[in-house]
Chain A
Amino acid sequence: MSRRIFALAAIAGLASVLAAPAAQAIPAFARQTGQNCNACHVSFPELTPYGRYFKLSGYTLGKPLLEYPENLPLAVMAQFGVTDTRNNTYSDGSKVDPHNGEARLQMASVFLGGKVNDHLGGFVQWTASYNGSGYDFGADNTDIRLVNTRVAPGGQEPDLIYGLTVNNNPTSQDVWNSTPAWQFPYSTSATAITGFANSSMIDGGTDPAGNDLHTGAVGFGGYVFWKQTIYAELSLYRTDNGLFSVFDLGNDPDSTMRPYIKGYAPYWRLAYNKQWGPSSIEVGTFGMLTDRYADGSDGGPTDRYKDIGLDAQYQYITDVNTWTAQTSYIHENQDWNLSGPANLGLTSNPNGNLNTFRIKGSYWYRHKYGATLGYFASNGSEDATLYGGAGSLNNKPDTSGYILEADYMPWDYVRVMLQYTAYNKYLGGSTYTDPGGGLRNASDNNSVFLNLWVAY
């Protein structure tokens, strides 16, 4: 296995780790509506039915920015964390997480968000996230909406909400917490190994050259929500270069590793929603078809990712007891016309596939004490270069494990989080080859993450 492939795989792994802790709740909206965070959030970022309505109606409830100057449309958020990885040393003596056991600022964000008028609202987020040695600062999530709510003459509720969204991360516009951008875990260690060894493109995964889509793309979408029951959306994502580089401010737009999407990648979403008493459910499907240049060029052959997801959510919310559950399954087909053996040689096969599954259940007591149990599992086709090169003994990406999390919110704007991630499988099995060349157990990657999350 060549050193170059190893280096690329290492970069890919690192990039997927760093892409993970994107960020959430926006106290500026609480000030705009005058409501408490828990009107919209079970716990940030998980949305309540009212929170979903608030987002779909373009963040336009409450007072417009200009009529309420004392209500700053700004919010800040920070996470301070410390991680302990079970076996922090690779076979060659190098460290998995050089900052194991050190408390540090994981990330900090600034939000600018609010209601412009009854039909226009949105937010822009900039984030500095820890990259293992310093902080990367740049555009994070952005969502700007132009919306109309149709009430029939004499009607008692909207029969149609329809709107346009401009955003920079596929599924970040979604209002259910069973799609990638806002699904559990809501925060993970910036330095430990977390999540899948490989994720699909729509799930923040990387291509064989190590680039993800998150904030590398800008999407324009139209959506309808009919009688609070059927949600349908079609969006088109393109590379956020040139005119659209504002969506990627600070994220090194001229890097040669920049992930170029060929033309416009279609994203679709269809969901069924129902509410009764304190309960609500959603069952849906989503997907995206992306043609990408993995090598920074913008001509010639491309890799094609076809992602199809199924998801579901259940919530039961009262003042005292709250139960919620989310699950998703994503199937990805990969055509490596560019990365494959015929061109770049980053994969052994001309095509492959990857399946990822997640499920989690949470309980909250009085919106103050929370406990969550999550399970994740992936499997995929064999590839000696892509996965074998990264250390898989059977050339597969298969990863599985579970997450236990306890949360305590002493005040609305403070969350103390203790998270334990345990692996059964990593990169194909219970053992794999670590970057030092020796054998490593998947469970050596188990980690404990203690995080203090504040937002104002």
Chain B
Amino acid sequence: MSSNNTTIGSGTLKTAIVWAMSVALGGAAAQALAQKANESTAGEAQHIAATVCFACHGPGGVNDNPMFPNLAAQQPAYLENQLHAFREHKRAEPTAQHFMWGVASRDLDARLIAAMAHYFAEQPAAKGIPGDPKLVAEGNELFHKGDPKRGLPACASCHGPDAHGAGPFPRLAGQHKEYLLKQLHLIKDAIRNAPVMHGVADKLTDSEMVALATYLQSLN
């Protein structure tokens, strides 16, 4: 057997040298590939969106998996707030911890967050998905009028008449129903820390949440 002819000492040394050289070569090749990625911050943000975020949130921040919120056409100020909240561990529901804390701290830095927010805000929004007309009508009513008797404000007063959001108030139109429902519960139970919205969610019943989420998912 040819391999057994070399003595252990010189064989090990030779092996070590060849491996050290191969590792150096592989590293150099990888480094060469990495060079060209250094463009503008906006270019970098687009690259990260297309190689990291896309895997869960879908291309351009639109996807059909209820676990992962659509990000397209979201308000840039809201996106920035959320990414900072993930980074600083202020938004701390289990799914935020499991999926987003790492992304926001390992794949992004403070410099990139504004560029990421800008990128997703510019993408075309997800299309609305029609739902049960009765629920949609009920959601529509609550969204625009609230219920003054109970002190429930109209959602539209913060999230905008077409639910497209404004500044720190998120766009809700076309968002996955399951995701919206889950967030309303998380905010109501104060598991997701969102003080302003908590005051609102606290007053919603389970069936109202279903109607609102069905309505919001139906919007373009």
| Chain A interface residues (CB < 8 Å from chain B) | 32-36, 38-39, 49-50, 53, 57, 61-63, 68, 116-120, 144, 146, 148-149, 151, 154-158, 241-243, 245-246, 253-254, 276-278, 296, 298, 317-319
The answer to whether B101 touches A34 (Cβ under 8 A) is: yes
Q: Is residue B66 within 8 Å, beta carbon to beta carbon, of the partner chain? A: yes
> Which residues 72-105 of B sit at the A interface, judged by CB distance below 8 A?
95, 97-99, 101-103, 105
The answer to whether B3 touches A245 (Cβ under 8 A) is: yes
The answer to whether A117 touches B102 (Cβ under 8 A) is: no
- Contact of A62 (CB < 8 Å), options: B4, B29, B51, B106: B106
Q: Chain B's nearest CB lies how many Å from the CB of A138?
A: 16
A157-B61 Cα distance, complex, nearest whole Å: 10
Chain B, Cβ-Cβ closest to A164: B26
Q: Chain B's nearest CB lies how many Å from the CB of A30?
A: 8
The answer to whether B64 touches A277 (Cβ under 8 A) is: yes
Q: List 25 A-B contacts (CB under 8 A).
A: A33-B102, A33-B103, A34-B103, A35-B98, A39-B99, A39-B102, A49-B55, A53-B55, A57-B51, A68-B106, A117-B31, A118-B30, A120-B27, A146-B29, A151-B50, A154-B46, A156-B49, A156-B54, A157-B59, A242-B11, A253-B3, A277-B65, A278-B67, A296-B1, A298-B1
The interface centre, meaning the residue of B3, B101, B107, B123 with most chain A CB atoms within 10 A of its CB, is B3
- Contact of A148 (CB < 8 Å), options: B33, B50, B95: B33
The answer to whether B107 touches A61 (Cβ under 8 A) is: yes
Q: Mark B158-192, 1 if CB is under 8 A from A, else 0.
A: 00000000000000000000000010000000000
Which residues of B lie under 8 Å from residue A241 when comparing CB positions? 1, 3
A318-B66 Cα distance, complex, nearest whole Å: 8
- Asked, given contacts A49-B55, A277-B64, whether A157 binds B50 with beta carbons under 8 Å apart, the answer is yes
Interface of B is mostly: helix
Chain B, Cβ-Cβ closest to A122: B26
Which residues of A lie under 8 Å from residue B33 when comparing CB positions? 118-119, 148
Which residues of B lie under 8 Å from residue A243 when comparing CB positions? 14-15, 18-19
A63-B19 Cα distance, complex, nearest whole Å: 25
Q: Chain A's nearest CB lies how many Å from the CB of B41?
A: 16
Q: Chain A's nearest CB lies how many Å from the CB of B31?
A: 6
- Asked, given contacts A34-B103, A62-B102, whether A277 binds B97 with beta carbons under 8 Å apart, the answer is no
A243-B15 Cα distance, complex, nearest whole Å: 5
Q: Chain A's nearest CB lies how many Å from the CB of B146?
A: 30
Which residues of B lie under 8 Å from residue A242 when comparing CB positions? 2-3, 11, 15
Number of chain B residues whose Cβ lies closer than 8 Å to a Cβ of chain A: 44
Which residues of B lie under 8 Å from residue A151 when comparing CB positions? 47, 50-51
Q: Chain B's nearest CB lies how many Å from the CB of A123?
A: 15
- Contact of B66 (CB < 8 Å), options: A50, A53, A154, A278: A278
Which residues of B lie under 8 Å from residue A120 when comparing CB positions? 26-27, 30
The answer to whether B98 touches A36 (Cβ under 8 A) is: yes
Which residues of A lie under 8 Å from residue B103 when comparing CB positions? 33-35
Give the total number of A-B pairs whose CB atoms are below 8 A apart: 107
- The 5 A-B pairs at the shortest CB distance, nearest first, are namely A34-B102, A36-B98, A156-B59, A119-B30, A120-B30
Which residues of A lie under 8 Å from residue B37 when comparing CB positions? 118
- Asked, given contacts A116-B27, A148-B33, A243-B15, whether A61 binds B52 with beta carbons under 8 Å apart, the answer is yes
Chain B, Cβ-Cβ closest to A50: B55
A53-B2 Cα distance, complex, nearest whole Å: 40
Which residues of B lie under 8 Å from residue A63 when comparing CB positions? 106
Other than the known A156-B54, A241-B3, A245-B15, what 20 A-B pairs have Cβ atoms closer than 8 Å?
Answer: A33-B103, A34-B103, A35-B101, A35-B103, A36-B97, A39-B102, A50-B55, A61-B52, A116-B27, A117-B34, A156-B50, A157-B59, A158-B51, A242-B2, A243-B14, A243-B18, A243-B19, A246-B19, A298-B1, A319-B182
Q: Is residue B60 within 8 Å, beta carbon to beta carbon, of the partner chain? A: yes
Q: Is residue B135 within 8 Å, beta carbon to beta carbon, of the partner chain? A: no
- Asked, given contacts A241-B3, A245-B15, whether A34 binds B59 with beta carbons under 8 Å apart, the answer is no
The answer to whether A34 touches B106 (Cβ under 8 A) is: yes
Q: Is residue B200 within 8 Å, beta carbon to beta carbon, of the partner chain? A: no
The answer to whether B99 touches A35 (Cβ under 8 A) is: yes
Chain B, Cβ-Cβ closest to A144: B26
- Asked, given contacts A62-B107, A156-B50, whether A278 binds B15 with beta carbons under 8 Å apart, the answer is no
Q: Chain B's nearest CB lies how many Å from the CB of A114?
A: 12
Q: Is residue B115 within 8 Å, beta carbon to beta carbon, of the partner chain? A: no
Chain A, Cβ-Cβ closest to B72: A156
- Contact of B99 (CB < 8 Å), options: A36, A68, A154: A36
Which residues of A lie under 8 Å from residue B98 when comparing CB positions? 35-36, 38-39
The answer to whether A254 touches B4 (Cβ under 8 A) is: yes
Q: Is residue B56 within 8 Å, beta carbon to beta carbon, of the partner chain? A: yes
The answer to whether B64 touches A276 (Cβ under 8 A) is: yes
Which residues of B lie under 8 Å from residue A253 when comparing CB positions? 3
A298-B4 Cα distance, complex, nearest whole Å: 12
Which residues of A lie under 8 Å from residue B56 when comparing CB positions? 50
A156-B47 Cα distance, complex, nearest whole Å: 8
A242-B14 Cα distance, complex, nearest whole Å: 10
The answer to whether A158 touches B50 (Cβ under 8 A) is: yes
Q: Chain A's nearest CB lies how many Å from the CB of B43?
A: 10
The answer to whether B30 touches A146 (Cβ under 8 A) is: yes
Which residues of B lie under 8 Å from residue A296 when comparing CB positions? 1
Which residues of A lie under 8 Å from residue B27 when comparing CB positions? 116-117, 120
A387-B182 Cα distance, complex, nearest whole Å: 58
A51-B47 Cα distance, complex, nearest whole Å: 19
Q: Chain B's nearest CB lies how many Å from the CB of A296?
A: 8
Chain A, Cβ-Cβ closest to B102: A34
A36-B98 Cα distance, complex, nearest whole Å: 4
Which residues of B lie under 8 Å from residue A156 when comparing CB positions? 49-50, 54, 59-60, 123
- Contact of B102 (CB < 8 Å), options: A35, A38, A57: A35
